[in-house]
A and B are shown apart, each in its own frame.
Chain A
Amino acid sequence: MINWSNFIAQCFNGLVLGALLALISSGLTIIYGTLGVLNLAHGAMFMLGGYAGWVAYTYTGSFLVAVAAGALFVMLVGLVTERLIIRHFYARPPEDQLLVTFGLGIVFVETVRFFFGSLSKTVPPPSLLTGITNLGFMVYPTYRLGLLGIVSVALLALYFVLYRTRIGMIVRAGIEDSVMVDSLGINVYRVFMLVFGIGSMAAGFAGIVNAPVVSIAPDVGDAILVQTFVVVVIGGVGSFTGAILGGLIAGEIVSITSMFNPAYSYVMLFIAMTLVLVLRPYGLLGSAGRE
């Protein structure tokens, strides 16, 4: 017997969780699509965004400054990391790329733990978005509603950059065939650096806007990384719209399953991923020819 008000509330939870997953996954998927590097430090980027934002919040008391600091700091980390480390791994086997990004993730997490400890840090939501909102059919934390809006705007902005600008066109062309882009006289390495920066920024931005919901700790990115992979696989590697669709599907699966038996939420998520892999190995919106 389904409790309908609970069902609607769970669908809503799924939407919020899904939007967040979509944002983080879109960063991961454009990096993998363009550079061919599966960035296992993406979860750590999410964490770094939270901490950079928390530091900025501690000094300024402004949520907006915190969000800007989180996003920009992680973008900078992304750019520097690509230039100094990732670039030297493009020609090396995928195992090496996995190892170096996995190692980078550990370095980031343990550096943060060294300076800030393991005790969790809280960033309160902006005063405009505190409290609980009564939607008529249910009550919901106001900030989570705001989060849905914030993440939607960020995804739209990312969509605009990718689909309505020249640089976006180059990035999309790079996802389809980076060798061809290179031979057309475009400096593909500069594009790679930028994509790594933007992809990391998506994770960093998500990290700080999520901080008022899930207080931050050095390990905050670990679980997110796993879910993000699932989203990318479901949506299709390299597909921005696939990441959004995959994120929403993953969010809804986790939330709706939990209505019946929470212990099976993540099992269902992985079953869904397995089904997609069997029936459509390139993901729902991915295409077979990409490299």
Chain B
Amino acid sequence: MTAFDDHDGRKAPAALASQDLSSPAMRPMPFALSRRNALRAGIGIVGATLVPGIGHMGLAYADDKPAIGTWPAGSQGSSVFIGAAVPLTGTYAVQGEDERKGLELAVEHINTNNPLMKALAPKINNGVLGKKVELLVADSAAKPNQAVQAEQTFINQNKVVLMFGSTSSAVAVALNKFAQREKILYMAGISGSNDTTGKDCVRYGFRQGFYGETAANAIGPVLLAQFGKNRKAAFMTPDYTYGHTTTKSVADYLTEKGGWTVVTNQVSPLGTQDFSQYLTNIGNSGAEFLINVNWGRDAVLSTQQAKQFGIIPKMTLVVPYQIPFLAKEVGPDLTAGVFAATDFWWTLEDKYPLAKMFVESFQKKYGYRPEWGAENAYVSLGHWARMVTEAGTFYPPDVIKQFEKGETIPSLLGDVHYRPQDHQLVRPVILVRGKAKKDMKNDEDFWEVIGIVPGDKLMQAPDAFGCKLGDYT
């Protein structure tokens, strides 16, 4: 329904409010009002009252630093707001909902001094720097324009101090640029594109999760060891930055290190439902491996339909960038024996105490074991809370510099650190293999962890993908 996006009623008030706030002189005169202008003026007035102190921002705060972004206005009340734009509808709705729950749990834990959150951010004290943290969530539908509009609303109405979200690197890249322009911190959430901390990196953006290049370098050696050299692979790629960069990273590894051949790469638009034409091309390609880079519902449908066409099990399925809930949706018959790289899997609780605490409290609250969308969201907020409390201020350049110290900090998977040059977290990538139904110990025991690969060996040189971070102010 793309044609009607701009008419979505939910966004209109924000856009109007921002116009009216930024240019009070443009408000309609109180005479001869049309109905629409009256409405617009009303929204402007309501919007203005929601933002106390807008007229004397910067003067009221007797700090030696000039106002920047939503600072200091965003942290002058009794609470600070985090604005999240995650997909709650569309192709990535299932994964976005998992992210939302991870955020919700993190905020609850920050405000209640939960021991797990204390481990990630020791200086929280029933909140951050004396402020309660409040979470605002909007549906991005995995569309960049919708995500940016949602965040703009949050900035106008709530002066958010942190933006979060994506699931779709197209959104992450758009919010990266938006964050840099608005000078508001942004944590990317699920984003698999090399570009997010590569050519589209920004000073104000950070990424906790793994991505195409680290996934490729983690899973590549396993594939070569398992299946040998000089094999033939078909790729399925979603047509945007995540798909293209991840396919390139995986294909480069397999061709350069293993002499594999990419016999076809079927590129499909995000939100494809019928994959028959792509699968027909793959069926006629002579490939031995189906490397499916599709994600979310696209991955579910393309995998199910590959089975319908007999491509699975004729070809061996590989999932380089694991999709939360894929195994649950397609069933263990299709994922048994499949190799995948991922950010987190709940059975890691056996090895990492913090992971165990997370899985337990998540399961208690939501009734299922968290996927890596929730883990990624939770840890991202934990790291933000740590950096803000360590810096002792919400002033964004100081928080950024705290991240850029590159100190060793905890995560659910042991010690990690942010790389100052590109703001990418150096963190392990988890390798898993799908379990057969008979080997599953419970109804969520879909994957067996076969490797935990340290992040530093998996990453490209900080400048290899063209990252230039930009200014602090």
Residues of chain A touching chain B, judged by Cβ–Cβ distance below 8 Å, are 3, 5-6, 9-10, 13-14, 16-17, 40, 43, 102, 105, 109, 113, 118-120, 122, 132, 139-141, 143-144, 213-215, 217-220, 222-226, 254-255, 258-259, 262-263, 265-266
Known: A218-B89, A262-B266. A17 touches B328 (CB 8 A): no
Q: Which of B22-30, B129-137, B302-310, B353-361 lies at the interface with chain A?
A: B302-310
Assess the A17–B274 pair: CB atoms within 8 A.
Answer: yes
A132 and B309 alpha carbons, distance in the complex (Å)? 7
**Considering the complex, which residues of chain B in the window 1-51 have a beta carbon less than 8 Å from any beta carbon of chain A?**
1-4, 7
Contact of B325 among A10, A119, A144, A219 (CB under 8 A): A119
Give the Cβ gap from A223 to chain B, nearest Cβ, in Å: 5
Residues in B whose Cβ lies below 8 Å from that of A218? 89, 93
Contact of B281 among A217, A262, A266 (CB under 8 A): A262
Assess the B329–A143 pair: CB atoms within 8 A.
Answer: no
Assess the A120–B300 pair: CB atoms within 8 A.
Answer: yes
A282 and B460 alpha carbons, distance in the complex (Å)? 56
Give the Cβ gap from A22 to chain B, nearest Cβ, in Å: 14
Assess the B304–A122 pair: CB atoms within 8 A.
Answer: yes
Assess the A13–B284 pair: CB atoms within 8 A.
Answer: no
* CB-nearest residue of chain B to A264: B267
* CB-nearest residue of chain A to B328: A119
**Considering the complex, which residues of chain B in the window 259-292 have a beta carbon less than 8 Å from any beta carbon of chain A?**
266-269, 271-274, 276-278, 280-281, 283-284
Assess the B273–A223 pair: CB atoms within 8 A.
Answer: yes
Contact of A16 among B89, B271, B276 (CB under 8 A): B276
- Asked if B138 is at the interface (CB within 8 A of a chain A CB), the reply is no
* CB-nearest residue of chain B to A212: B308
Give the Cβ gap from B120 to chain A, nearest Cβ, in Å: 29
21 A–B contact pairs at CB < 8 A? A6-B284, A10-B277, A109-B89, A118-B94, A119-B325, A120-B301, A120-B329, A143-B308, A213-B305, A214-B273, A214-B274, A215-B329, A218-B89, A219-B90, A219-B91, A222-B90, A223-B272, A255-B276, A255-B277, A259-B277, A262-B278
Assess the B93–A118 pair: CB atoms within 8 A.
Answer: yes
- Asked if B97 is at the interface (CB within 8 A of a chain A CB), the reply is yes
A119 and B444 alpha carbons, distance in the complex (Å)? 15
Assess the A225–B1 pair: CB atoms within 8 A.
Answer: yes
* Total chain B interface residues with beta-carbon distance under 8 A: 39
A265 and B3 alpha carbons, distance in the complex (Å)? 18
A143 and B443 alpha carbons, distance in the complex (Å)? 29
* CB-nearest residue of chain A to B265: A262
Contacts beyond the supplied A3-B284, A5-B284, A262-B281: 7 A-B pairs with Cβ under 8 Å: A109-B89, A119-B328, A120-B300, A214-B301, A220-B273, A226-B2, A262-B277
Residues in A whose Cβ lies below 8 Å from that of B281? 6, 10, 258-259, 262
Residues in A whose Cβ lies below 8 Å from that of B325? 119
Assess the A13–B304 pair: CB atoms within 8 A.
Answer: no
Contact of B308 among A105, A213, A266 (CB under 8 A): A213
Contact of B301 among A10, A43, A215, A258 (CB under 8 A): A215
Residues in B whose Cβ lies below 8 Å from that of A122? 304
Contact of B280 among A13, A217, A223 (CB under 8 A): A13
Assess the A6–B280 pair: CB atoms within 8 A.
Answer: yes
Known: A213-B274, A255-B277. A9 touches B308 (CB 8 A): no
* CB-nearest residue of chain B to A125: B308
* CB-nearest residue of chain B to A121: B329
Residues 299-323 of chain B, each 1 if its beta carbon lies under 8 Å from chain A, else 0: 0110011001110000000000000
Assess the B329–A258 pair: CB atoms within 8 A.
Answer: no
Q: Which of the listed residues A14, A113, A223 has the most CB atoms from chain B within 10 Å of its own CB?
A: A223
A243 and B309 alpha carbons, distance in the complex (Å)? 28
Assess the A120–B297 pair: CB atoms within 8 A.
Answer: yes
Residues in A whose Cβ lies below 8 Å from that of B267? 262-263
- Asked if B239 is at the interface (CB within 8 A of a chain A CB), the reply is yes
Residues in B whose Cβ lies below 8 Å from that of A118? 88-89, 93-94, 97
Residues in B whose Cβ lies below 8 Å from that of A265? 277
Contact of A222 among B1, B278, B284 (CB under 8 A): B1
Assess the B274–A262 pair: CB atoms within 8 A.
Answer: no
A132 and B90 alpha carbons, distance in the complex (Å)? 30
A40 and B1 alpha carbons, distance in the complex (Å)? 9
Residues 363-393 of chain B, each 1 if its beta carbon lies under 8 Å from chain A, else 0: 0000000000000000000000000000000
Give the Cβ gap from A146 to chain B, nearest Cβ, in Å: 12
Assess the B310–A132 pair: CB atoms within 8 A.
Answer: yes
Residues in A whose Cβ lies below 8 Å from that of B278? 258, 262
Assess the B277–A258 pair: CB atoms within 8 A.
Answer: yes
